[in-house]
A = this chain, B = another copy of it.
Amino acid sequence: MRISVDALGGDNAPDEIVAGALAAARRLSGDEIILVGDEEVIRPRLIDAPANVSVREARGVVGMGEDPAASLRARPASSVAVAARMVREGETEAFFSAGSTGASVAAALLLVGRLKGCRRPAIATMLPFDAPALLLDVGATVSCRPQDLLNFAILGGVFARKYLDISDPRVGLINVGEEPGKGDDLAKEAHRLLAGSDYVRFAGNVEGREISRGVADVLVTDGFTGNVVLKTAEGVAREILGMVRGAVTATAATKLAGAVLRPRLLSLRDRVDPENYGGSFLLGVRGSVVIGHGNSRARGVENALIGLARSGSGLAEDSERELAAAQQQVKGDAV
């Protein structure tokens, strides 16, 4: 796979982005990584770089606080715009950026383009628990229609097969109760569409307290709820781990005991670290797009690129085909 990497986006760009990309390239000898950004900034960091790494010139970044669409129009040579345009032109199959999420989404929509049959895209993120699940949408589309949630189920299902190697992923609908009649109008109607689709292995409604329990491989919801769920889960995990750290470091005796437990507690912390996956996927566009965390370090960038390369190409094609089939069935049922 050929991947364009926005070398200038993110709090720790370019150092951590370039370091992560180089580490990934060393492990991905059959794939190609193209770093996008000011050549004079990036070149000096490529001493001893493997042969499958190259540079593409770009000028400037779209910052966190800026209006994404307006900035992309004003700065067509910015790193995220160039990285996205390479996907559209077929030079690469995927792009990665740890810069402004809004800029990545706008670049994907405006420069790469949506899949046919996909009104709105979704950002999909792995919830990092012992029983991981793919949650979407976590913020690309805050106001959804029921059909959007069916589309997200299809997109998430295709992604889970390719990227997570789950042959027949179970899809759950985030809701306030398990019974089919629960929820607001969106959830009720989405439940009906999901339950009726031959293209979704529907596991029913999933309540907030079940999201970490492995009851589904893919969890769909609107971008407002998904964003709040994801950030709540991250915030609470961090809060509890902080309390555990406080308990361990309280006294000399607990510190001694903590030293024995330290390797296991660190591994626990690593298991729930969002950097394990290194980023989120934007689904519903004509290519693979990975949005890194703004504070991604080399390890996160490396993990994201490795995962991306392993998932192989064809995500857009497979998704478009499944969307069409599923929508055909909904229309057929309605006749």
Contacts and interface: CB of A to CB of B under 8 A. Distances in A.
A50 B272 CA distance: 50
A307 interface: no
A46 interface: no
A256 interface: yes
Contact of A208 (B221, B229, B272): B229
Contact of A248 (B185, B207, B261): B261
Interface stretch (A7-15, A29-37, A189-197, A232-240): A232-240
A264 B250 contact: yes
Contact of A260 (B130, B212, B253): B253
Interface in A242-269: 243-244, 247-248, 250, 253-254, 256-261, 264-265, 267-268
B268 A247 contact: yes
Interface in A90-145: 129-130, 139, 142-143
Contact of A229 (B185, B232, B260): B232
A73 interface: no
A267 B253 CA distance: 17
Counted per complex, copies of this chain come to 2
Given A247-B261, A257-B257, A268-B244, A212 B228 contact: no
A227 interface: yes
Contacts of A81: none
Contacts of A260: 253-254, 256-257
Interface of A: 129-130, 139, 142-143, 174-176, 183-185, 187, 207-213, 221-225, 227-241, 243-244, 247-248, 250, 253-254, 256-261, 264-265, 267-268, 271-272
30 contacts: A130-B243, A143-B184, A143-B185, A175-B228, A176-B228, A183-B224, A184-B222, A207-B227, A208-B229, A208-B235, A209-B235, A210-B235, A212-B235, A212-B236, A212-B239, A224-B225, A229-B232, A233-B236, A236-B240, A243-B271, A244-B244, A244-B268, A247-B265, A247-B268, A250-B264, A257-B257, A257-B259, A257-B260, A257-B261, A258-B261
What are the 10 closest A-B residue pairs judged by CB atoms, nearest first? Answer: A208-B231, A209-B235, A208-B232, A257-B260, A257-B257, A247-B264, A209-B231, A176-B227, A212-B239, A236-B236
